[in-house]
Amino acid sequence: MSAVDNAIKEIVILGGGTAGWMAAAIIGNIFKSSDVSITLVESEQVEIIGVGEATIPPLLAVLESLGIDQADFIQATQASFKWGIEFVDWCEKGQQYFHPFGALGRPIDGHDFYQCWLKSQAEGDHTPLMAHSPEAMLSAHNKFYLPFEAMNTPLAGAHYALHLDAVLVGQYLRRFAENIGVKREVGHVEVANTDSKGFITDLVLQDGQTIAGDFFIDCSGFQGKLIEQTLQTGYDDWSEYLPCNRAVTVQSENINEPTPYTTAKAQDAGWTWRIPLQHRTGNGYVFCDKYISDEEAIATLLANLEGPAVCEPRVIPFLTGIRKQAWNKNCLALGLAQGFLEPLESTAIHLVSKTLALFVRMFPNKDCDSKLQHEFNRRVRVDYEEIRDFLVLHYCATQREDTAFWRWCKTMTVPESLQYKIEFFKTAGGLIPEAETLFQPTSWYAVFEGMQVRPENYNPTLDALDTTKLLQSMEQGRQSLAKAVLKQPSHQSFLSQYCAAKKP
């Protein structure tokens, strides 16, 4: 068989929502000028989860790669801007910290800024680490601007993301995908047929229609209609590290101007999120049902709303973990069908787009070479394990002992990979980022500091730097940043001037 005869010509995506339509948009954009056909099948009987409303900066690069105008996207999805995440009551009750997206400060005479800060603390400077973060300071003052418009200022290195209405994102990407030739079929899949090798050949809908394909992308949610129910791939349960197994969500009215950050507040049996959009606020409580009932969780969530609820609370059960293979035979699992990590660091949409980018780089023929699959699955697992470890850090480093849930977290079993990072960091603030890692040192520094995990010492090379010069440079940088922040417009005024969405 020639390479042309063996080429994939028909791609079928099962499931709409953000994952399905993002797959349709990205892969459809790759093949829009070819003879490869892409069909998305979605059922009106299946409700879209649609709770992943906070994102991280890489999403902006995805939009740019698709040629999507950012202002148009923001208006269509009722989006607001996001500099990072505010964590409340995680280490101790009454304590809060901020996880920003961008860099902290600037190197001084070639010395890493974080090491400079550690040295300055040892010399008696008590300025908080986040006083040197553009994103943290902008968030504290509810300010926003576009970083590329602040070149040669202390704000130039900032990074931002978006808060989105997930349902509107799915609708936006659907319009985009259909405009470039992706076909949409509405129907509920009864069964997926396979051949003698176990490869999926076609999907049979309730109305008897058959949809054949060379490759299938499973975006069917937690059930994993293709990857699990058909191919029986298996699932690795990570609840021993991340025990929360339910979330209750509700939307509320905006009574205050939207903040340019997500809020994650620790509760008695988990944590609540607050994600401000232009037209409403998304709220949720991620919890473990071993420590609290659904009714108690709903009551806690409603008591923490800033504005009146505009819908009925909805409870969503989940199991934290990852599919044993994200790519099995001629099926790729995406989104909730691939795995689930609680939305503490807003990584769900990123995992979808990064998985798709990796898949495009390793795009197979009809045979789906096992070596490609093995390397692909290894890399996906590395991404999941990195995020898992980062999430676990928020729990295991707590000092709280006021509830059974937090007492469990404080004494929990920690993954060996995370334990190594913690011990290595404690020696002298050491972190070694690997290629393509999602969370750069700034992210780890922010959470370590927020959870009161400090290195035992600073890097001894800092003793070669004049202490007076160090302290002066640190203070000058802090003052310059503070002045630059105050000159920026408020988050709300920026939205109103450049990308205000129509009220629904």
Q: Which CATH number goes with the domain that contains 358?
A: 3.50.50.60
> Is 82 assigned to a binding site?
yes
Residue 251 lies in a domain: no
Residue 115 lies in a domain: yes
* Same-domain status, 337 and 470: no
Give residue-wise pLDDT tens across range 248-299.
999 999 999 999 999 999 999 999 999 999 999 999 999 999 999 999 999 9
Q: Name the pLDDT band for 152 (thresholds 50, 70, 90).
A: confident
In this structure, are residues 119 and 454 in contact, taking their beta carbons and an 8 Å threshold? Answer: no
Residue 408 lies in a domain: no
Average pLDDT (36-54) is 81
Q: Which residue in the list 32, 82, 119, 469 is annotated as catalytic?
A: 82
* Same-domain status, 137 and 29: no
> Is 217 assigned to a binding site?
no
* Same-domain status, 476 and 348: no
pLDDT averaged over every residue in the chain: 95
* Same-domain status, 455 and 425: yes
Distances (CA, A) of 354 to 25, 137, 351, 360: 14, 29, 5, 10
> Is 349 assigned to a binding site?
yes
**Annotated catalytic residue 82:** yes
Residue 227 lies in a domain: yes
Give residue-wise pLDDT tens across range 62-74.
999 999 999 999 9
> Is 182 assigned to a binding site?
no
> Is 158 assigned to a binding site?
no
Angle between helix axes 348-361 and 58-65 (nearest 10 degrees) is 50
Average the pLDDT over each of 46-60, 236-250, 391-405 and give the range with the smallest value: 46-60
pLDDT of residue 150: 79
Pairing type for strands 37-42 and 10-14 reads parallel
Q: What are phi and psi for residue 149, nearest 5 degrees?
A: -90, 5
Give residue-wise pLDDT tens across range 102-133.
889 999 999 999 999 999 999 999 999 999 99
* Same-domain status, 421 and 483: yes
Residue 407 lies in a domain: no
DSSP state of 223: G
pLDDT of residue 51: 53
User: Tokens 């609820």, residue?
Assistant: 309
Residue 4 lies in a domain: no
Q: Which residue type, as a one-letter code, is found at position 368?
A: C
pLDDT of residue 168: 94
Structurally, the chain folds into a number of domains equal to: 2
pLDDT of residue 48: 67
Q: Has residue 2 got a pLDDT over 60?
A: no
* Same-domain status, 181 and 214: yes
Q: Is the pTM of this model over 0.85?
A: yes
Name the residue range of residue 131's domain: 103-142+415-491
Last residue of a domain, one of 340, 367, 385: 385
Average pLDDT (227-239) is 98
pLDDT of residue 425: 93
Q: Name the pLDDT band for 440 (thresholds 50, 70, 90).
A: confident
> Is 345 assigned to a binding site?
yes
Nearest partner of 239 among 270, 272, 275, judged by Cα: 270
Q: Name the pLDDT band for 435 (thresholds 50, 70, 90).
A: low
> Is 194 assigned to a binding site?
no
* Same-domain status, 229 and 172: yes
Average pLDDT (46-65) is 83
Residue 367 lies in a domain: yes
CA angle centred on 26, ends 77 and 74, rounded to 5°? 15
* Same-domain status, 342 and 379: yes
pLDDT of residue 49: 63
**What share of the chain has pLDDT > 90, as a percent?**
90
Last residue of a domain, one of 385, 402, 433: 385
Residue 214 lies in a domain: yes
CA angle centred on 21, ends 389 and 84, rounded to 5°? 40
Look at 150 and 379; give whichever has higher pLDDT: 379
* Same-domain status, 345 and 474: no
Give residue-wise pLDDT tens across range 156-170.
889 999 999 999 999
* Same-domain status, 359 and 478: no
In this structure, are residues 145 and 155 in contact, taking their beta carbons and an 8 Å threshold? Answer: yes
* Same-domain status, 191 and 336: yes
* Same-domain status, 343 and 225: yes
Average the pLDDT over each of 43-47, 304-308, 313-317 and give the range with the smallest value: 43-47
Look at 76 and 1; give whichever has higher pLDDT: 76
Q: Has residue 1 got a pLDDT over 90?
A: no
In this structure, are residues 235 and 228 in contact, taking their beta carbons and an 8 Å threshold? Answer: yes
Q: DSSP alpha helices (H): ranges in 160-274?
A: 166-179
Q: Alpha-carbon distance 235 to 343, whole Å?
A: 19
Q: Has residue 434 got a pLDDT over 90?
A: no
Last residue of a domain, one of 345, 370, 385: 385
pLDDT of residue 50: 58
